[in-house]
Structure 1
Amino acid sequence: MKRFIPIILGMLLPFVAQINVNAQGCVAIRQFSGIGNAVGQGNILEKGEWNISSNYRYFKSFRHFSGTEEHPNRVANNTEVINWSHGVDLNVSYAISNRAYAVVSLPFAYNERSSLYEHGRNSRHMTYSKGIADMRVGAGYWLLSSEKARKGNTAVGLGVKLPTGDYNAQGTFYNVGPNGTSEVRPVDQSIQLGDGGWGLIVDAQGIWNLPSNFFLYYDGFYMFNPRNTNGTRTNRGRASEGIMSVPDQFAFRAGVFKPIPVIHGLGISLGGRVEGVPVRDIIGDSDGFRRPGYIASVEPGLSYMLGNFTTTLTVPVALIRNRTRSLTDIADSTPDNRRHGDAAFADYLINVNLAWRIPKKVKGVFNSID
C-alpha cells in the first residue's frame, strides 16, 4: 500500500470547493479547501520532510438556478451573469513527526464577471478582481501509527482562515449613477477575494485499501465563520440584502482510486463531491446578503507520479445545482410573493495540481532541517 499512497494523496490536493467555491458559480465559496487538502504528499512524509505544491482551478459559471430549477431563458435572452474564475494556491507542508503535519496555504485569484443587470440593464459590461485571497494555516494528525495503518488511515485537522483577501474590491459600474453615469462600487460577492472574517476550519481525510487493488479515499471540511456581516455594500434593492454576509462553508468528497500497472506511477479515480454555503451559520448571526446553496458533482481524475513529483487532474462535473432560499428570501416573502433568489453555476470545474515531496536528505537549501 505504501507504494501507491503518494499518488493517491497527491490526487486529494485539488478541491472544491474551495471550495472556492468561487465553487463553480455565484454560490460564494471562497477559493480554498480544508487544511488537509493543502498537504498532499506531506501526509506521508517522515519527520522533518517538506512538501511544496501548487493547485490551479478554473470554472465558467453561467447557468441560473433557483432551487434545483434552471432558468434557461436567461441564456436564451442574453441576460445571464457570467463569471470566469482562476485560482492558484501555493502550499507548503512540514512533517512535525511521522503522524503530525503543519501546513500554510496562500491563494491567489483572478476573476471576471459579465453582467447586464448590474449596469443599468442597458448594456453588458465587465467587472474584475485579482490578488491574494484568504490565507489559511493549520495542522493535522494521522490517527493510526504506521505499524497499525496497514489497511488504511484517517487524519483529522484543525486550521484558521485569515482575512487576508480584499473583501471590498471595487469595480466600475455603468449606467447606474445620476443621468446614467458610471460609478465605482464593490464588485459582486461571488468575485470578492475574501469575506473579511476569521474562520475556524475542521477537516478529515483518509484512504483505505479495498480488494482488487482499489483504494477508497475521502476528504471533507467545514469552516465556521463567526463574523456576521463585513460592512461591504451590495447595492441591491432590498434593505435586508444591503450588506454582505460572512457565511460558513463546507465540502466533502469521496471515491475510489486504482493504480494502472501498465504505466508505472499512473492512476485513475472516480468519485463524487458536495460543496456549498449553508443558509444559517452554526456560530454567530447570519444577517446580510448571501447566496446559500450546494453543488453535487461526479469527479473523474487522473494522477501521475514520477520520482518525488506528482501531478493530478480532476474535472468535477455538476449533477445537482441547488440555490436554496436565503434568510432574506424567507423574511421578505409574503403570502402573495414567495421570494427565491437565483445563482449562476458552472457545468464543470478544472483542477490541476503539482506536488513536490522534498526528502529529508536532499542536499542544498534544505540542509538546515536535517
Structure 2
Amino acid sequence: MKRIYTLIVVALLLHSMDTYGQGCVAIRQFSGFGNSVGQGNILEKGEWNISANYRYFKSFRHFRGSHEETNRLEDGTEVINHQHGLDINISYAFSERLYGIVSLPFQYNERSSLYEHGRTERHTTYSKGFGDMRIGAGYWLLSGEKAKKGNTAVGIGVKFPTGDYAATSTFYNQGDEGVEEVKTVDQSIQLGDGGTALILDFQGIWNLTGTYFLYYDGFYMINPKETNGTPTNRRRENEAIMSVPDQFAVRTGVFKSFEKVHGLGVSLGGRVEGIPVRDLIGGSDGFRRPGYIVSVEPGISYMLGNVTGRLNVPIAVLRNRTQSVTDIENSTPDKIVHGDAAFADYLINFSLAWRIPKKLPDVFNAH
C-alpha cells in the first residue's frame, strides 16, 4: 500500500491540470483546479502542499478553422506572442478526503505584430502582473481499502477578477498622423477576463497493472458575465468590447513509474482545451476568439523525499479557430466571415512541489 500510495502521488503531481492558452485563443492560465489539487491531494489530515509552476510558449502559426494560413509566415505578417506564467499554489488537507486550494498566478506577456502598428512596422506590446486568483475545494470519492487501486475527486471553486482586464501598452503609427498612443492590449495577453466564474472539475488515477496507471482530469469554467467593458480597438461595432468567455479542458493518458529508479515516472497522454463559441450560462456577445487545441502530452517527473519536480511538453496536433458569434453575425450570403488566431507548436511547463508533512524532520525542530 505504501508503494502504491507513493506512485499515485507522483502520478498526480505529474498530471495536474495545467491549463493555458497556447496562442490568441485566450485560455486563461490554470483555469481549472486540477493543477493545484493534484499537487496537494492524497495528503494526511493537517498536511500542506506548496507548488510553483512555470510555463512558456510562443504562438505564431495562424489558423482559420483548422486550416493553417502558411502565407502569414511567408509574408512576415504573423502575430507572435511570447507568454510566461508562474503560479504559486497552496493546498491543505482538512481530512483524508477533503482538501482546499488557493492559486496565485503571475504573468509576463509580449505581443509582436504589424497590423496593430499601422501595418508598416513591427512593434511589441506588453502586459505583466497578477492574474485571476482561484480558491476551491475538492473531495475524494473513495477511502480506505476502496481506494486501494485508485481514486476520483470532484471539485468546485471560484475564479475572482483580480487580474487587470484592461491592461495598456504603447502602440505606434496610430491614426493618419502615425502617432504613438497608449491603448488596451489584445485580449490574448490581458492578465484577466474581468469575470467572477464558477469552476467545476474532476481528476483521478487508477492502477491498470503493475506500475502502469490511467490518469484523467478536466474542468469547465462557467463565466456568466457577458462583456467586461474593455475596448478591443477593432473596427466592427459588435466586436468593440471584449467578451468574458467560458473555458474547458480534458486530459487523459497513461503514467508509468520505475521501481529500479525510485521516484522516477514518465507519461504519455492527450488533451483537449479551448473556449466555446457560446457560454453555458449568460450571453456570448462581445469579441472573443473561440477555438480548441488537441495535443499529445509527454511528461517526466522525479520525486525525492517530499519534493517533486515535473516537466510536461504538450505538442499540438490539431488547432481550430472556430467561427465566433460575431463572425456569424457579420457574415452575409455572399461573404462568410471567419476570424483567425495564432497558435503555438508546443508548450513548456515545469513545476516543483513540496509536500509538508505534519511532523517535519528533526532539522526543522532543532533549537
Short-chain TM bin: over 0.9
Match of 1:190 in 2: 188
Match of 2:265 in 1: 267
2:244 is aligned, of 243, 246, 253, to 246
> Is the CA contact (8 Å cut-off) linking 1:309 and 1:354 kept in structure 2?
yes
Cα-to-partner distance string for 1:215-271 (whole Å, 9 max, x where unaligned):
000010000000000000001111110000000000011100000223111010000
Task: Kindly state the Cα deviation for residue 33 of structure 1 after the two structures are TM-superposed.
Answer: 3.3
Task: Kindly state the Cα deviation for residue 6 of structure 1 after the two structures are TM-superposed.
Answer: 1.6
1:11 & 1:338 partners in 2: Cα distance?
A: 43
Cα-to-partner distance string for 1:25-74 (whole Å, 9 max, x where unaligned):
00011111311321234211000000000101100000000000000000
1:338 & 1:211 partners in 2: Cα distance?
A: 52
2:70 & 2:102 partners in 1: Cα distance?
A: 41
1:287 is aligned, of 285, 288, 293, to 285
Q: Kindly provide the amino acid, as one letter, of the partner of residue 3 in structure 1.
A: T
Cα-to-partner distance string for 1:120-141 (whole Å, 9 max, x where unaligned):
1010000000000000000000
2:222 & 2:43 partners in 1: Cα distance?
A: 29
Q: Kindly provide the amino acid, as one letter, of the partner of residue 56 in structure 1.
A: Y
Match of 2:351 in 1: 353
Match of 1:331 in 2: 329
Is 1:8–2:11 an aligned residue pair? yes
Is 1:71–2:69 an aligned residue pair? yes
1:3 & 1:51 partners in 2: Cα distance?
A: 15
Change (3 A) 1:42 1:366: farther
SS in 2 for 1:113: strand
The number of residue pairs the alignment matches comes to: 362
Task: Kindly state the Cα deviation for residue 365 of structure 1 after the two structures are TM-superposed.
Answer: 12
> Is the CA contact (8 Å cut-off) linking 2:257 and 2:265 kept in structure 1?
yes
Match of 1:237 in 2: 235
> Is the CA contact (8 Å cut-off) linking 1:13 and 1:353 kept in structure 2?
no
1:278 & 1:330 partners in 2: Cα distance?
A: 14
Q: Kindly provide the amino acid, as one letter, of the partner of residue 313 in structure 2.
A: V
> Is the CA contact (8 Å cut-off) linking 1:116 and 1:124 kept in structure 2?
yes
Task: Kindly state the Cα deviation for residue 322 of structure 1 after the two structures are TM-superposed.
Answer: 0.2
- Identity percentage over the alignment? 70
SS in 2 for 1:2: helix
Match of 2:31 in 1: 33
After superposition, where does 1:92-171 map in structure 2 within 5 Å?
A: 92-171=90-169
Change (3 A) 1:363 1:354: same
Match of 1:48 in 2: 46
Task: Kindly state the Cα deviation for residue 182 of structure 1 after the two structures are TM-superposed.
Answer: 1.4
Task: Kindly state the Cα deviation for residue 14 of structure 1 after the two structures are TM-superposed.
Answer: 5.5
> Is the CA contact (8 Å cut-off) linking 1:65 and 1:344 kept in structure 2?
yes
Query: Which residues of structure 2 form unaligned runs of 5+?
Result: none
Cα-to-partner distance string for 1:298-349 (whole Å, 9 max, x where unaligned):
0000010000001110000000000000000001001111000000000001
2:363 & 2:67 partners in 1: Cα distance?
A: 55
> Is the CA contact (8 Å cut-off) linking 2:203 and 2:217 kept in structure 1?
yes
SS in 1 for 2:349: strand
> Is the CA contact (8 Å cut-off) linking 1:247 and 1:278 kept in structure 2?
yes
Cα-to-partner distance string for 1:134-180 (whole Å, 9 max, x where unaligned):
00000000000122111110000000000000000001111113411
Moved over 3 A (4+): 363-367
1:105 & 1:366 partners in 2: Cα distance?
A: 26
> Is the CA contact (8 Å cut-off) linking 2:109 and 2:128 kept in structure 1?
yes
> Is the CA contact (8 Å cut-off) linking 1:67 and 1:322 kept in structure 2?
yes
2:299 & 2:83 partners in 1: Cα distance?
A: 20
Query: Which residues of structure 1 form unaligned runs of 5+?
Result: none
> Is the CA contact (8 Å cut-off) linking 1:14 and 1:55 kept in structure 2?
no
> Is the CA contact (8 Å cut-off) linking 2:186 and 2:232 kept in structure 1?
yes
1:205 is aligned, of 194, 203, 206, to 203
Cα-to-partner distance string for 1:78-131 (whole Å, 9 max, x where unaligned):
000000000000000000000000000000000000000000101000000000
Change (3 A) 1:116 1:100: same
> Is the CA contact (8 Å cut-off) linking 1:38 and 1:105 kept in structure 2?
yes
> Is the CA contact (8 Å cut-off) linking 1:39 and 1:92 kept in structure 2?
no
Match of 2:179 in 1: 181
Q: Kindly provide the amino acid, as one letter, of the partner of residue 177 in structure 1.
A: G
Match of 1:85 in 2: 83
6-15 vs 50-59, greater mean Cα deviation: 6-15
Match of 2:58 in 1: 60
Q: Kindly provide the amino acid, as one letter, of the partner of residue 4 in structure 1.
A: L
Q: Kindly provide the amino acid, as one letter, of the partner of residue 11 in structure 1.
A: L
Change (3 A) 1:365 1:171: farther
> Is the CA contact (8 Å cut-off) linking 2:17 and 2:32 kept in structure 1?
no
CA-atom RMSD, angstroms? Answer: 1.4
Q: Kindly provide the amino acid, as one letter, of the partner of residue 134 in structure 1.
A: D
> Is the CA contact (8 Å cut-off) linking 2:228 and 2:242 kept in structure 1?
yes
Q: Kindly provide the amino acid, as one letter, of the partner of residue 211 in structure 1.
A: T
